[in-house]
Amino acid sequence: MALHLIDHQDGDRLVFSTEVSHHMIRSLRKKAGDEIYATDGHGTIFSARIEPGKDRQIQATIMRQEVLSKNWEVHVACSLIKKESRFEYFLEKATEIGVSRITPLICERTLKPGLRQDRAQKIIDAAVQQSFNPYVPILDRPEALEDFLSRDFPDHHEKYIASAVERSQHTTLEQQYSGKNPVHILIGPEGDFTPSEVDAALGHGWTPVSLGQNRLRTDTAATMVVQIIKSCYHMKTPATT
């Protein structure tokens, strides 16, 4: 069973992009009259029937719809990685798990400060559809760490920086996280944040956390924190969904 991301909604009709339409027709062999599942990327899942005569840009009539609630929210601000495929791996897997927002960071030790934004968004959209996740995460444009740290986050937001520096002395993310939302987590580049960057983050109210004793790649750490927050949220707030 596939989930298709809509381009927009027009009354009781769903309209799909030419790219999604092509995938439905050529790869999935969908045709007029078939029932499909679709999402607006904001939590709604539609059951709809494909209308005839719209091969290039499929339209479908809504039959049923349901909003799936999501009570946990995690924002990962992660340094770009020299090997672009590894950052794309993080985008895909974090989306499948349920990340809410991704900010690519440019740090002092970031080796490749650029990102192909359109390609990255396509990877996220594909991961949403593959994983039947009705929430498309926000993808920011790359931002310098110092600018990101200057953002004004509300006091009730939880902010963590995962650093390999003195990691044995820091409380683990699982222990530190209270179960409240939203959560923002900083992940550094290959070689980690510099000491001055860590000091700057601490000065802006970010709490240092450990991800364990093993040395993790940037993309592994960034993906791992999404699952940690998701699992801990459900364990610490068992009455919610």
E-state strands within the chain: 3-5, 8-10, 13-15, 35-39, 44-50, 59-67, 74-79, 101-106, 138-139, 143-144, 158-162, 183-187, 207-209
In this predicted model, what pLDDT tens digit does every residue of 27-78 receive, in sequence order? 889 999 999 999 999 999 999 999 998 668 899 999 999 999 888 999 999 9
Contact 174, 228 (CB under 8 A): yes
Residues of the chain under the 50 pLDDT cut:
240-241
In this predicted model, what pLDDT tens digit does every residue of 89-98 receive, in sequence order? 999 999 999 9
pLDDT at 225: 97
Look up residue 192 and give its DSSP letter: -
pLDDT at 56: 82
Contact 62, 12 (CB under 8 A): yes
Crossing angle for the helix pair 84-97 and 117-131, to the nearest 10 degrees: 40
Please give the domain boundaries of the chain with CATH numbers for all domains.
3-67 (2.40.240.20), 74-236 (3.40.1280.10)
pLDDT at 169: 66
